[in-house]
Amino acid sequence: MTQTTVSTSLFSPQLKESQSTQTKHSLFADASSRLEQALKHISMSEDAIERLRHPKASLTVSIPVRMDNGSLQVFQGYRVRYDDTRGPGKGGVRYHPNVTLDEVQSLAFWMTFKCALLDLPFGGAKGGITVNPKELSKAELERLSRGYIDAIADFIGPDVDIPAPDVYTNATIMGWMMDQYSIIKRQLSRGVVTGKPLTLGGSEGRNTATATGAFYVIGATLPKFVKNPYNTTVAIQGFGNAGSILAELLFKAGYKVVAVSDSQGGIYTPQGLDIPSIREYKNRSRSIKAVYCEDTVCSIVEHQVISNAELLALDVDILIPAALENQITADNAKDVKAKFIFEVANGPIASAADPILAEKGIHVFPDILVNAGGVTVSYFEWVQNRNGWYWTLEEVNQRLKVKMEAETERVWSIAQKLSVDVRTAAYVHGLNRLGEALDAKGTRNYYIDLG
Ligand code: GLU
């Protein structure tokens, strides 16, 4: 029943043309412009550059799902393997009504640079299903997730491409996916998916990893600007897994988190919000309210309700976009007043906004560094699955801290050395590692020398 189209850029020259017309104003074209920007600061073989301009393989599938009312609904799904020179493809699966192939390609592109930047032995990949998961029952969600794996099973594998959670997917869904793949292969294959429930071979600390990684990057950065948590105000757009856990980590470390928002809107209190009680309320009610709790008694406190647009324009030290891509664009970049932006979402700033933010002296720390904690602990999970030897939460967080801080320092020193912004430095750092691996496979010069 499942329809499958595989396109591999290497073998389809006509794809190049149709792709470039199709993606003229696409997210992927925007994402690629950061690569072109970084290439100005690095000498790389032309072969490696050309390889990195194209996704290696893109799979589009139709997933038929029997709904609870007996009807059949067909969902569109994707998996893109952008590059696997440094290791198997790695990246999450997103469930969202706006998922398109263009978006999944962009996300797979970012994963490629993220894994190289963190020196993980992985390439970059991403998947997605065009669906509003909030409209499905749990049983429908399970059938959809298992159907997705049925459709892409030949395209993934512990040594081929390893999915993980992303926007609106979670450990339960990863458990179903790993189980379905194991059923298909007639072999328990824990290492095929990361972000699983602990009891099915998940890792300690994976659920909190994106937020914890971002927390380490922020902690390693602020002292460079003579800032400490107690004199730092923060606004966070997005109160999902990454945004809400990061809000709590920052709150507990003494930062003043003055605003948070979710897709419905946000709340703002200049004196600082009590994040643990807001998380508790959100978990219970699925909406954000400022709550004050004393012992077991909680009451909803007065707060200013703000829109997402207003949150992005708040006069704070740190702005953290932790929702979706394209939130800060050429249209609203001029309104941003924060001194630092840490991108916890993938691609929240459009490339056209970069020069406007730079002009205003705003320091932007890019997604491929700031949110890399998630995939780093996914790597730890994959290692643990292969060894059958599981680590404690302290071991996971300690190893995560060492990696995030070391790569933050490397990116920072490249930025200083080349006098470039931190995003360009991050791409240069990832490109160095990718270029080395691509060249090791043989370049044009290598063959010319042989001749
Ligand atoms: N979805 C996460 C990201 O964008 C994690 C990917 C993974 O763990 O493979 O980095």
Task: Please report, for the chain, the start and end positions of each structural domain, with discontinuous segments joined by +.
Answer: 54-190, 210-370
User: Within the chain, what is the greatest distance between any pair of CA atoms?
Assistant: 80
Is residue 88 within 6 Å of ligand 1 at its C-beta? no
Name the residue among 62, 54, 58 with its Cα closest to residue 79. 58
Give the integer Cα–Cα distance in Å for 431 and 422: 14
Q: Do domains 54-190 and 210-370 have the same CATH topology?
A: yes
Which of 82, 106, 167, 210 to mutate to test ligand 1, by most ligand atoms within 8 A of the CB atom? 210
Which of the pair, 343 or 14, is modelled with greater confidence? 343
Residue 446: what residue type? Answer: Y
Is residue 375 within 6 Å of ligand 1 at its C-beta? yes
pLDDT band for 264, please (50, 70, 90 cuts): confident
Catalytic annotation on 126? Answer: yes
Distance 343 CA to ligand 1 centre (A): 14
Is residue 117 within 6 Å of ligand 1 at its C-beta? no
- Going by C-beta distance under 8 Å and a sequence separation of 6 or more, which residues neighbour residue 291? 274, 277, 278, 280, 281, 298, 299, 300, 301
Lowest pLDDT segment from 34-48, 82-96, 310-324: 34-48
Record the pTM.
0.91
pLDDT at position 47: 86
Mean pLDDT of the 57-84 span:
98
Which of the pair, 15 or 330, is modelled with greater confidence? 330
Q: How many residues does the chain have?
A: 451
CATH code for the structural domain at 210-370: 3.40.50.720
Model confidence over 193-236: pLDDT tens digits? 999 999 999 999 999 999 999 999 999 999 999 788 998 999 99
CATH architecture of 54-190: 3-Layer(aba) Sandwich (3.40)
Is residue 194 within 6 Å of ligand 1 at its C-beta? yes
pLDDT at position 289: 72
What tokens were used for 182? 């194991």
pLDDT(441) > 50: yes
What tokens were used for 64? 């038929």
Mean pLDDT of the 421-425 span:
97
What's the Cα-to-Cα distance from 332 to each of 1, 329, 357, rounded to whole Å?
45, 6, 10
